[in-house]
Amino acid sequence: MSSSVAVAKPSTRLVSGKQIMSLLGIVPLGAYVVAHLWTNLYSLGGDKVFDEHLKTTNSSPAFIFLEVFGLGLPILVHAWMGLKIIARGRPNIGSYRFFSNLRFGLQRLSGLGVLLFLGAHVVKARILPAFGYGEHLVGGHESYAGMQAAFAEPATLTVYALGILGVAYHLGNGVWGAGMTLGLTTTPKAQARMEKVSMVFFLVLLAMGYLAIWGFHPFAQAAG
């Protein structure tokens, strides 16, 4: 009489899908968000300063290449992997505390919101201007005047403000999660430190986004 025992084969994958998603979320996507928000902060200098910086930033021949392969494709891969995780993921109330489950839910909810926000933002502020649609354009992009006119609409301003909140939370909390996924924070003490770093990062991103909105003087046209 013979008996056989199933032996699990060790995984031969060097990196998992979640690790790839985390890496893409930090570089290049996270790096692009910081650079984009930094560019928008030039709104604090007024229309001429913002428009001139926009021309300088987008005049490089490599700009389109970076937009497609450094931003567009990574977003699609990151979003596809994220949607798969959302589809099969469930909160675990029995094993994790309330705050952990709340963060679990908010990360996925913000991911869906950011995906919709980015889609609308790219179409309105990048694709349509690239084809000449819009009254205030600088080199195929929305100019200072165009952003100011858009923010004069309460609905657009509200959606953009919520979008910035979602982006800041998703990236800030994503840094904390990436630390564990990539094996950088394996102890409770390291995870607690990363939690503080991610909170500061979230607040910095949020401040950058909202300061940029303020720089466009969104209520100037309505007041005029």
Find where tokens 């909160």 sit.
91
What phi and psi values does residue 216 have, to the nearest 5 degrees?
-85, 0
pLDDT tens-digit series, residues 90-134? 655 555 566 778 888 899 999 999 999 999 998 988 888 888 887
pLDDT at 12: 52
- Give me the helices (H) in 47-152, please: 47-58, 63-67, 73-88, 98-122, 128-130, 144-151
pLDDT tens-digit series, residues 39-52? 999 999 999 999 99
Domains (ranges, CATH) in the chain?
A: 17-88+97-223 (1.20.1300.10)
Q: Which residues partner with 138 through β-bridges?
A: 141
Global confidence as pTM? 0.86
Find where tokens 């909170």 sit.
199
Instruction: Indicate whether 211 pLDDT > 90.
Output: yes
pLDDT at 8: 39
The H or E element spanning position 141 is strand 141-142
Q: What is the C-alpha R_g of the chain?
A: 21
